[in-house]
Structure 1
Amino acid sequence: MSAQKILMITGDFTEDYETMVPFQALLAMGYEVDAVCPGKKAGESVATCIHDFEGDQTYTEKRGHNFTLNATFADINPADYDALVIPGGRAPEYLRLDGAVLEAVSHFMSENKPVAAICHGAQILTAAKVIEGRTVSAYPACRPEVELAGATYADIAVDAAVTDGNLVTAPAWPAHPAWIAQFHKVLSSAQQGSLAA
């Protein structure tokens, strides 16, 4: 079978680990991954931020790496992709205002294609109105949005993930091992044609 093609939609001040780690891990596992950002072209980069948990009431934020995009958002057709990844960070806050982003997310969800979102990535899912009736994890500060969108908020450990059909979500980057493993399982089921609708 040919390698599955995965689309990653990201943007400036995306969370560093939540972008770099899944991008590299999925490539290492043999998937094709196109990372795109609205308004930017292949070869350009997005700034990342590092969110850390250092004992304060909320996460701290520091400047991260520059992450190089390898595809152009304006040129992509969601129908050409088998799955979608939505990293967290601050990017989802403004990406959810982009109609083309929401249309792309709606395509993946309506076609029952595998979708993985982590941390604040749930803000894009809620804006796209695609999680009603689903169980969704996200950074705890996103819980009100998840519930207002008609989903059940999965109150799980920070290093855990939850799968609901085609959708794999997690609260933050400490969940990468669980999140990526569950997403890989959903991708494998989809390739075998056994992903439940």
Structure 2
Amino acid sequence: MSINASKLRLFVFHGNIQLIHLENVPVLSNVLYAPRELVLEDQDDFVNIFSSIPALECFSWDLFEVDNGSFKVIPTKLPSALNCLKRLFMSWITLVEFFELSFALFIIRSSPYLEEILIKIVTKEVVDEIPASFSDITFNHLRKVKFYDVLLDEVEIQLIKDLLAKSPALVKMVIKPRQMESNNSLNVLAEITKFQRASSKAEVVYLVD
């Protein structure tokens, strides 16, 4: 499905259409996109979701169900950066499932002026490391990061560590574990406080029920 709307500023979608192409939307700045199912077959499908929205400032993405079809290789970043994107909110994302982890890193890498990231996580034991291609970028404008429902596994901890070390303007990182049932969880949270921080003002806050 294609949408052509030159004066559109806000776009909210919840539904069963698998893929929407936004065309001629020069002033669209706020997108909330929550398809019930998304099928991506090739790199063009992946890139076109974002490359046609030049003024995108706030993007909320609900990955309720994603099918990557025959698509095996995800680009590390867009050909043209999302220079207007300031706020990124992602929910139902599985940071240790290869496709969704790569998808999240792809958007973050393509957005050099991000100021706020919120990720709500669903965890599966599949991937055990962040791709090396993510380690060569600095988030000079990132000020706030929130992780909700984390299980404090290796991939989540590595992403937290990378963002702390690569964000010189960071003011606050909020971490809300899904459960705090073991001493190991407390030990991991204590270890996070020792991670190197690019910002001397960065505060790490734990939300524990």
Shorter-chain TM-score: what band?
A: 0.3 to 0.5
> What TM-score, normalized by structure 2, do the two folds share?
0.32
> What TM-score, normalized by structure 1, do the two folds share?
0.33
Q: Which has the higher helix share?
A: 1
Higher relative contact order (CA 8 A, sep 6+): 1
